Amino acid sequence: MNGIKKILFLSYLVGLCISIGYANSSEVKKAISSLENFRRIIILENGRKKPLDTYAQNILKQFSGKSKFKREPAIIWFSRVLFTPNQSFNDRIFLVNHPEVLNSLGIEIADDRDRYSFTQLGKIFPRLSKLAFSASKLKDDERTVVENEIIILFNKLYLYQQLSGSLQFAIPHEDFTFTNNEIKKAFNLPESKNVFCFLDLVKRISILEQLKNEILLKDIDQRSEVEKEIINTMNKIQQRMDSIQPLPLTIIHDPENHSENWISPGESLYRSYRLHKPINREIYLLGDMVSAFINGHQNRFDHSLESFNEFILDQLKSKTTDKKISAEILYNQIDPFHKSEFFYGFSLFFILLSLLVLRKWLYGISFFLLLLGVLFHSYGMISRMMIMSRPPVTNLYETFIFTGWMTVILGIILEFFKKKNIGILTGSTSGIIMLLIAGKYALEGDTMGMLVAVLDSNFWLSTHVITITIGFAGIVISGIIGHVFVFQTLFIPENRIVLKNTFQSIYATQAFGLIFTFLGTVMGGMWADQSWGRFWGWDPKENGALVVVLWSVILFHARLSKWIKEVGFALGSIVGIITIALAWFGINLLGVGLHSYGFTSGIALVLIVFIIIEFIFVLASGVYLTRL
Amino acid sequence: MKKHSIIKLLTSTRLTVICLVLLIIVVIWGTVYQVENGLYQAQQKFFYSWFVFLFGFFPIPGTVLIFWVLFLNVFSSILFRIPFKFSNLGNILIHVGIMIFFIGSFFTYYYSQESVISLKEEQEKNFSVSSLDWELAIWHDQKEKKVVYAVDTNRLASDDRIKFDQLDMEIQVHQYYKNCIAYVKTKNMDKVDIINSSGIQQLEPKTEKREHSKNMAGMVFSILPFDKNSKQVLLYGADKNSTPILRGGKNYYFSLRKKRFILPFSLRLIDFKRTFHPGSNIVRSYDSKVEVRIKELVREVIISMNKPLRYKNFTLYQSSYFIADDGTEYTFLAVVKNFGKLFPYISSIIIFMGLCIHFLLRLIKKKKNLRE
- Is the pLDDT reported for residue A21 higher than 50? no
- Residue B8 one-letter amino acid: K
Q: Is B227 helix (H, G, I), strand (E, B) or coil?
A: coil
Give kind and range of the element (H or E) at residue A95: strand A94-95
Q: Any idea which of A382-391, A422-431, A470-479, B139-148 has the lowest mean pLDDT?
A: B139-148
Which of A454, A540, A547 lies closest to B34 in CB terms?
A540
Tell me the DSSP string of B291-344. EEEETTEEEEEEEETTB-EEETTEEEEEEEEEE-TT--EEEEEEEEE-TTTHHH
- Strongest mean pLDDT among A240-244, A378-382, A593-597: A378-382
Average pLDDT, chain A: 85
The predicted structure's pLDDT at residue A602: 56
A596 band by pLDDT with thresholds 50, 70 and 90 = very low
CB distance from A538 to chain B under 8 Å? yes
CB distance from A400 to chain B under 8 Å? no
Cα three-residue angle A121-A126-A130, rounded to 5 degrees: 115
Neighbouring CB atoms inside 10 A of B38's CB total: 18
- Is the pLDDT reported for residue A201 higher than 70? yes
What is the interface pTM, i.e. ipTM, of the complex? 0.79
For residues A259 and A353, membership in a common domain is answered with: no
Neighbouring CB atoms inside 10 A of B320's CB total: 12
What is Dmax (Cα atoms) for chain A? 109
Pairing of strands B194-195, B232-236: parallel
| Angle between helix A225-244 and helix A3-24 axes, rounded to 10 deg | 120
Q: Which residue has the higher pLDDT, B86 or A342?
A: A342
The predicted structure's pLDDT at residue A527: 83
For residues A188 and A137, membership in a common domain is answered with: no
Average pLDDT, chain B: 86
Which of A450, A515, A591 lies closest to B359 in CB terms?
A515
Percent of the residues in chain A that have a pLDDT greater than 90, as a whole number: 38
A18 band by pLDDT with thresholds 50, 70 and 90 = very low
Give kind and range of the element (H or E) at residue A10: helix A3-24
For residues A303 and A280, membership in a common domain is answered with: yes
For residues A107 and A219, membership in a common domain is answered with: no
A530 band by pLDDT with thresholds 50, 70 and 90 = confident
The predicted structure's pLDDT at residue A346: 96
Q: Any idea which of A138-147, A288-297, A536-545, B149-158 has the lowest mean pLDDT?
A: A138-147
Which of B13, B20, B351 lies closest to A560 in CB terms?
B13
Domain that holds residue A284: 174-322
Closest CA to A8 of A133, A138, A172: A133
Q: How far apart are CA A196 and CA A603, in angstroms?
A: 51
- Is the pLDDT reported for residue B218 higher than 90? yes
Number of domains in chain A: 4
The predicted structure's pLDDT at residue A22: 45
By CA distance, what is B345's nearest residue in A? A526
In terms of Cβ atoms closer than 10 Å to its own Cβ (0-12, 13-18, 19+), residue A405 is: buried
For residues A427 and A483, membership in a common domain is answered with: no
Q: Is B255 helix (H, G, I), strand (E, B) or coil?
A: strand
Tell me: the pLDDT tens digits for B144-201? 777 889 999 888 888 888 888 888 888 899 889 999 999 886 555 555 678 888 888 8
- Strongest mean pLDDT among A218-222, A286-290, A378-382, B184-188: A378-382
CB distance from A278 to chain B under 8 Å? no
Q: What's the half-sphere exposure (Cβ side, CA atoms, 13 Å) at B21?
A: 11
The predicted structure's pLDDT at residue A306: 92
B85 band by pLDDT with thresholds 50, 70 and 90 = confident
For residues A378 and A490, membership in a common domain is answered with: no
Q: Where in chain B are the domains?
A: 5-112+344-371, 113-125+264-337, 134-260
A189 band by pLDDT with thresholds 50, 70 and 90 = confident
The predicted structure's pLDDT at residue A517: 94
Check if the beta carbon of residue B87 is closer than 8 Å to that of residue B81: no
Closest CA to B331 of B340, B318, B316: B318
Final residue before a domain boundary, out of A399, A431, A463: A431
The predicted structure's pLDDT at residue B53: 87
A556 band by pLDDT with thresholds 50, 70 and 90 = very high
**Is A220 within a domain?**
yes
A27 band by pLDDT with thresholds 50, 70 and 90 = very low
In terms of Cβ atoms closer than 10 Å to its own Cβ (0-12, 13-18, 19+), residue A109 is: exposed
For residues A603 and A523, membership in a common domain is answered with: yes
Q: Any idea which of A161-165, A221-225, B181-185 has the lowest mean pLDDT?
A: A221-225
For residues A471 and A568, membership in a common domain is answered with: yes
For residues A358 and A407, membership in a common domain is answered with: yes
Tell me: the pLDDT tens digits for A124-134? 888 888 999 99
**Is A75 within a domain?**
no
A544/B286 CB distance under 8 A: no
Give kind and range of the element (H or E) at residue A530: helix A496-532
3-state secondary structure A178-213: CCCHHHHHHHCCCCCCCECCHHHHHCCHHHHHHHHH
Which A residues in the span 441-460 are in contact with B, Cβ-Cβ below 8 Å?
A: 449-454, 456-457, 460
pTM listed for this prediction: 0.80
Q: What mean pLDDT comes out for the span A69-83?
A: 91
Pairing of strands B250-276, B124-140: antiparallel
CB distance from A44 to chain B under 8 Å? yes
B31/A453 CB distance under 8 A: no
Q: What mean pLDDT comes out for the span A576-600?
A: 68
Chain B residues with CB-CB distance to A550 below 8 A: 20, 23-24, 27
Q: What mean pLDDT comes out for the span B320-331?
A: 87
B82 band by pLDDT with thresholds 50, 70 and 90 = confident
For residues A402 and A509, membership in a common domain is answered with: no
Give kind and range of the element (H or E) at residue A134: helix A125-136
Q: How far apart are CA B369 and CA A232, in angstroms?
A: 96
What value does the CA radius of gyration of chain B take, rounded to a whole number of Å?
27
Residue of B282, B302, B317, B319 to mutate for A, most A C-beta atoms under 10 A: B282
Q: Which residue has the higher pLDDT, A283 or B55?
A: A283
The predicted structure's pLDDT at residue A487: 93
Give kind and range of the element (H or E) at residue A313: helix A298-316
Check if the beta carbon of residue A570 is closer than 8 Å to that of residue A486: yes
Q: How far apart are CA A582 and CA B283, in angstroms?
A: 29
- Is the pLDDT reported for residue A371 higher than 90? yes
Give kind and range of the element (H or E) at residue B222: strand B218-224
For residues A559 and A628, membership in a common domain is answered with: yes
Chain A residues with CB-CB distance to B27 below 8 A: 543, 546-547, 550
Residues in chain B: 372
Q: What's the half-sphere exposure (Cβ side, CA atoms, 13 Å) at A8?
A: 5
For residues A455 and A403, membership in a common domain is answered with: no
By CA distance, what is A458's nearest residue in B? B306
Alpha helices in chain B (DSSP H): 5-10, 13-42, 63-76, 89-111, 342-371
The predicted structure's pLDDT at residue B266: 94
Which of A47, A518, A547 lies closest to B282 in CB terms?
A47
**Is A69 within a domain?**
no
Q: Is B86 helix (H, G, I), strand (E, B) or coil?
A: helix
List, in order, residues 6 or more apart from B3 with CB less than 8 Å away.
B11, B80
Q: How far apart are CA B6 and CA B13, in angstroms?
A: 14
Q: How far apart are CA A55 and CA A448, in angstroms?
A: 11
List phi, psi (to 5°) of B194: -120, 135
Check if the beta carbon of residue A265 is closer than 8 Å to that of residue A287: no
The predicted structure's pLDDT at residue A600: 44
Tell me the DSSP string of B143-173. SSS---EEEE-TT--TT-EEEETTTTEEEEE
- Is the pLDDT reported for residue B141 higher than 80? no
Q: How far apart are CA A200 and CA A162, in angstroms?
A: 21
Tell me: the pLDDT tens digits for B231-282? 889 999 999 889 988 887 788 899 999 999 999 999 999 999 888 888 777 8
Percent of the residues in chain B that have a pLDDT greater than 70, as a whole number: 95
Q: Any idea which of A120-124, A341-345, A553-557 has the lowest mean pLDDT?
A: A120-124
B108/A535 CB distance under 8 A: yes
Q: How far apart are CA B152 and CA B254, in angstroms?
A: 14
The predicted structure's pLDDT at residue A598: 40
What value does the CA radius of gyration of chain A take, rounded to a whole number of Å?
30
Q: What mean pLDDT comes out for the span B314-331?
A: 87
The predicted structure's pLDDT at residue A603: 65
Pairing of strands B314-323, B329-337: antiparallel
Check if the beta carbon of residue B170 is closer than 8 Å to that of residue B163: yes
Q: How far apart are CA B359 and CA B343, in angstroms?
A: 24
- Is the pLDDT reported for residue B210 higher than 80? no
The predicted structure's pLDDT at residue A31: 62
Check if the beta carbon of residue A326 is closer than 8 Å to that of residue A311: no
By CA distance, what is B347's nearest residue in A? A522
Q: How far apart are CA A499 and CA A491, in angstroms?
A: 11
